[in-house]
Chain A
Amino acid sequence: GEDVEQSLFLSVREGDSSVINCTYTDSSSTYLYWYKQEPGAGLQLLTYIFSNMDMKQDQRLTVLLNKKDKHLSLRIADTQTGDSAIYFCASTSGNTPLVFGKGTRLSVIA
């Protein structure tokens, strides 16, 4: 079945850019998602990208998709302490529920 992989930890300094990476295995994935989870809370949808797009930008967030390499990244510009959270990548091919990675814990150092 589909598998989604992410690195577990990322630490950046406040004001720097953060890049969180994700790889997936299903070449028929149609949508790819990024969710954010703050401590003790549910998952918040940050953004998503359709598989026929290479890039999507939304304020400080930039999503890059390399469909050939099945690689997705989330760049957060000017990272703030409020960005500290777990970030989940997820994919779907439309036939089954979303498949989530294990999450990347982003720590922002002031």
Chain B
Amino acid sequence: SQTIHQWPATLVQPVGSPLSLECTVEGTSNPNLYWYRQAAGRGLQLLFYSVGIGQISSEVPQNLSASRPQDRQFILSSKKLLLSDSGFYLCAWSVQGTDTQYFGPGTRLTVL
């Protein structure tokens, strides 16, 4: 069966520091991968999605970037965090050619 992991689970970072959040999927090949941010426990904002290694689509221009160095690994990064980057970051995957998304447990990021 397929599983999706995110780490860390929680993170507290100072303004201006770098960020790296990791998402990995097990039990499937060539998945679509997605990064979302959820602010204040409401509403999902799609940040990036990827249909293959090195293929990243950015939905919202901002202080973040994404990379997919391996088939089942998706990384969210920032060079310098802003206060507004605080939120709950969710990774999701779907089977290629289908739309049903399965979510990871999330990472709670607090920028102070």
Q: A residues within 8 Å of B by Cβ?
A: 8, 30-31, 33, 35, 39-45, 48, 86, 88, 92, 94, 97-98, 100, 102-103
User: 8 other contacts beyond A39-B41, A45-B101, with CB at 8 A cut-off?
Assistant: A40-B108, A41-B106, A42-B90, A42-B104, A88-B44, A98-B99, A102-B42, A102-B43
Q: Which of B60-112 contact A (CB under 8 A)?
A: 90, 92, 99-106, 108
Q: B residues within 8 Å of A by Cβ?
A: 34, 41-44, 46, 49, 90, 92, 99-106, 108
Q: Which residue of A is nearest B106, CB measured?
A: A42
A residues less than 8 Å from B41 (CB atoms): 39, 86
Contact of B103 among A8, A39, A43, A94 (CB under 8 A): A43
Tell me the bound Cα distance from A110 to B74 in angstroms. Answer: 42
* Residue pair A97, B43 in contact (C-beta under 8 Å): no
* Residue pair B103, A44 in contact (C-beta under 8 Å): yes
B residues less than 8 Å from A39 (CB atoms): 41
Count of CB-CB pairs between chains A and B under 8 Å: 44
Q: Is the interface of B mostly helix, strand, loop or mixed?
A: strand
A residues less than 8 Å from B43 (CB atoms): 100, 102-103
Contact of B101 among A30, A40, A41, A98 (CB under 8 A): A98
Contact of A100 among B44, B49, B108 (CB under 8 A): B44
Q: Which residue of A is nearest B97, CB measured?
A: A94
Contact of A103 among B42, B49, B92, B99 (CB under 8 A): B42
In the A-B complex, list the 6 residue pairs whose CB atoms are closest, starting with the nearest: A42-B103, A43-B103, A92-B99, A102-B43, A100-B44, A42-B106
* Residue pair A45, B100 in contact (C-beta under 8 Å): yes
